[in-house]
Amino acid sequence: MAEDSEVYLDISIDGKPIGRIVCKLFREKAPKTAENFYRLCAGDVKSPLKDQQWLSYKGNSFHRVIKNFMIQAGDIVHAAQKGSSASLIGKGGCSIYVDEEGVNMDRESSCYGNYEDENLGEFSEPFTLGMANLGSPNTNNSQFFITTYAAPHLNGKHSVFGQVIHGKSVVRTVEHSKVDSDEVPESDIRISDCGVWDESKGVPLYNASNDPIGGDVYEEYPSDDTHFNEDDFGEALKAANIIKESGTVLFKKKDFTNAFFKYRKSLNYINEYTPEPDVDREKNEQFTVLKMKVYLNLSLVLFHLEEYDNSITYATYLLEMDNVPDKDQAKAHYRRGNNYLKKNRFDEALLDYRLCKEKNPDDKVVKQRIEYVENLIEKKKEKTRKNISKFFS
């Protein structure tokens, strides 16, 4: 049996990569199941089926997703490529233990190489790997699932063989994908690549930033983090601040995309852990002040990413809050005005610049902006007058 006990799954949605899931396999508790999963990730076992293809999870799709429960993939018979019949996906599978005799016996079911259960343990935590089966004992093949929540109703019914150790945000992205009434994802969610993992291969993410710069060691989703007690508002505030500052370091390096991910992550922690005023008024106020800063940062970084509508949205969020200091209101109006200017919405830009000036009368830059936009509006009016005069001449 191979010594390696960690494997990776690179995930894409509609052809766009979102990141890597790294799994640790429980070889001692579930040796046969762990070996099967390991080899299907490595893709080094040939199928005895007619096509003689390599058995692999590469190209396989996630065919079932249930929020607050699990995500499921591994039908390498029917869900290995685009264009497969939707009615068949999820009804097949093939383990590395298949042989020609087994193929002939199982042709009607499309499930080949079924093998016995192992480690019928507890699903007490999210990010646990379990083998799907045919609804009866000892019918494991290649289909597997990753829990996204504790699932005690599965205890003693499915082989537990591993856990996710990196890329939890990727699992969450798949979990939150839109599905139809049959729990089938509306998007094409695939394992674009897979294999044996070690630390030299890293954990690329495209839907988040796992850069530990600035001391950010926290999970993308607050509920998945274990670095502090969720009832400790002080530690939660510290985490949200560290994540925000991590984003600022990246912003100064002009890494705007990853700075955005950090600011968005900080906002998630703020929204998750802000206590009600009657529970802890001081911490509520501190979280609120931090939220104002993050809204401003999100508006700024989205402007640099040329996502003007989203930048406007975050500036507006700040302006809709209570007790916002004049200085912060001025920044929000200025940034929203810059976005309107980029969108050639001159009247709205002018209004925001004027409101900025009201909150910060000594700002010379905004005075110049006001004059610039007023000139643009006048030129536009003059052009309109000339066009109208030509029409009637």
Which active-site residues does the annotation give?
64, 69, 72, 133, 145, 154, 158
Q: How far apart are CA 101 and CA 129, in angstroms?
A: 29
- Dmax over CA atoms of the chain, in Å, equals 91
Q: String of b and e for 136-159 (b: at least 16 CB within 10 Å)? A: eeebbbbbbbbbbbbbeebeeebb
Question: Cβ neighbours of residue 211 under 8 Å, at least 6 residues apart?
Answer: 246, 250, 258, 262
Q: Is 117 helix (H, G, I), strand (E, B) or coil?
A: coil
Comparing CA positions, the residue from 343, 377, 363, 344 lying closest to residue 353 is 363
Q: Is 322 helix (H, G, I), strand (E, B) or coil?
A: coil
Question: Six-digit token pair at 166?
Answer: 């990196």
Q: How far apart are CA 215 and CA 238, in angstroms?
A: 11
Which phi and psi angles does 182 have, rounded to 5°?
-100, 10
